[in-house]
Amino acid sequence: MNILNTQTLSNEALQSKLDQAMAKPELTAAGDLRHFIGVEGLSKTQLMAIIEKANGYLTDNAGRPNSIRNSDELEGCTVMNLFFENSTRTRTTFDVAAKRLGASVISIDIAKSSTQKGESLRDTLWNLEAMTADIFVVRHSSSGAAHFMATEVTPNIAIINGGDGWHAHPTQAMLDMLTIYREAPRPFEELTVAIIGDIKHSRVARSDIAALKTLGVKEIRVVAPKTLLPKGIERYGVSVYNDLDSAVVDCDVIIGLRIQNERIGSPLLPSTSEYFKAYGITTERLALAKPDALVMHPGPMNRGVEISSAVADGEQSVILKQVNNGIAVRMAVLALAMQGQRAARSAS
Residue of 188, 274, 186, 189 whose CA lies nearest to 228: 274
Count other C-beta atoms under 10 Å from residue 262's C-beta. 10
Question: Is 169 annotated for ligand binding?
Answer: yes
Question: Is 316 annotated for ligand binding?
Answer: no
State the pairing for strand pair 64-68/58-61: antiparallel
Question: Is 89 annotated for ligand binding?
Answer: yes
Question: Is 100 annotated for ligand binding?
Answer: no
DSSP H helices, the chain, are 12-21, 44-57, 89-100, 121-130, 145-148, 170-183, 203-214, 244-247, 272-279, 283-286, 309-312, 319-347
Question: Is 69 annotated for ligand binding?
Answer: no
Rounded Cα distance between 84 and 149, Å, is: 13
Question: Is 90 annotated for ligand binding?
Answer: yes
Q: If 0-12 CB within 10 Å is exposed, 13-18 middle and 19+ buried, where does residue 28 land?
A: middle
Rounded Cα distance between 292 and 183, Å, is: 10
Question: Is 283 annotated for ligand binding?
Answer: no
Residue of 190, 155, 160 whose CA lies nearest to 174: 160
Question: Is 197 annotated for ligand binding?
Answer: no
Instruction: Give the residue numbers of the binding site for carbamoyl phosphate.
Output: 89-90, 139, 169, 172, 299-300
Instruction: Give the residue numbers of the binding site.
Output: 89-90, 117, 139, 169, 172, 203, 258, 299-300
Instruction: Give the residue numbers of the binding site for L-aspartate.
Output: 117, 203, 258
